Amino acid sequence: MKYFKRQYSLDFEQAIWEHDPELLIMDQILDQNPQIIMLAAPCFPNACDELQVPVGRDGMTLEQVVRCAIYQRHKGLTYRQLSDHTEDSKKGRTFMKMEYNQYFSYQALQENISKISSEVLENIHIAIAQYAIDLGVDDGKKVRTDSTTIKTNIHYPTNASLLWDCIRVCYRLLKEAKELLKDFNFRSYQKSAKKLLFKIVNTPGKQKRRLLFKKMLQIQRRCERWVEEAIEQLASHRPTAGKTTARAAAKSACFTAENATGYRCCLSS
């Protein structure tokens, strides 16, 4: 593998960067800073300068590998899609420094891009950020990030399951309150509530489930009384933080019962 190709073929058909100006800016930064490309050299120990390999078949250069990796992440492409862009995308071919009639299969792209370690990618990001600081574009004191949404499995939000979540979280907060209040004692009904939830989910018939849900609501009201007592003791023990923690526990226990069943909880106001 060669680091760079010293001379590229003439290309009379220029790419149109109007719809992707960021890609043009990245292309110019990489052209002006070849040391950024060389940061990935340790991942390819067999790579060398073009003068040291005067003969042989032209494969992917180190510059092409780094540029393909950046282009793939910028566009959010799979390796198969990236392979298509190396063949028929004018902007992609220009950015990835593809020669005339040159393109790479997805196997070759995956084999080379996967060799770039996460540490090298981090160093490339640091070098680009430092370049922006040197130009005065940014001072590097603030970071803007974006979140990634990941599909995951959650339970269906039924009335009983939401009420169980409230009871569970409420008792967890009461346990935390007990660490501050050594003399505060309460009885946990979590096992009973969990058993009722299981019965509600697996019991056929609306009337039978309604009776079970009323029992679960009674447990919530018992928990509510413990929260009332915790509010009084926490308010005297730690006036500011105590009221906030206890009020959060109370609202957690009351919110679902109030909205799902129509029962008014005394702590929801």
- Mean pLDDT estimate for the chain: 80
Q: What percent of the chain has pLDDT over 70?
A: 82
Q: Hey, where are the domains in the chain?
A: 21-135, 159-261
Q: How far is CA 72 from CA 41, 96, 109, 127, 226, in A?
A: 19, 10, 10, 19, 56
Q: What angle is formed at CA 199 by the lines to CA 194 and CA 205, rounded to 5 degrees?
A: 145
More confident position, 233 or 247: 233
* pLDDT at res. 83: 92
Alpha helices (H) along 42-147: 62-75, 79-88, 90-95, 106-113, 118-135
Q: Is the pLDDT at 219 greater than 60, yes or no?
A: yes
Q: Is the pLDDT at 1 greater than 90, yes or no?
A: no
Question: Would the pTM count as exceeding 0.75?
Answer: no
Q: Is the pLDDT at 223 greater than 50, yes or no?
A: yes
* pLDDT at res. 62: 87
Mean pLDDT of the region 181-208: 87
* pLDDT at res. 240: 46
* pLDDT at res. 167: 87
Q: How confident is the model at residue 237 (pLDDT cuts 50, 70, 90)?
A: low
Q: Is the pLDDT at 260 greater than 70, yes or no?
A: no
Separation of alpha carbons 98 and 107, rounded Å: 17
Q: Is the pLDDT at 214 greater than 60, yes or no?
A: yes
| Measured distance between the N- and C-terminal CA atoms of the chain, rounded to whole angstroms | 71
Kindly report, residue by residue over 12-62, the tens digit of the pLDDT.
Answer: 678 888 888 888 988 888 888 889 989 998 898 887 776 666 665 677 888
More confident position, 145 or 261: 145
* pLDDT at res. 238: 54
* pLDDT at res. 68: 92
Residue labelled with tokens 């009871």: 167
* pLDDT at res. 50: 65
Q: Is the pLDDT at 67 greater than 80, yes or no?
A: yes
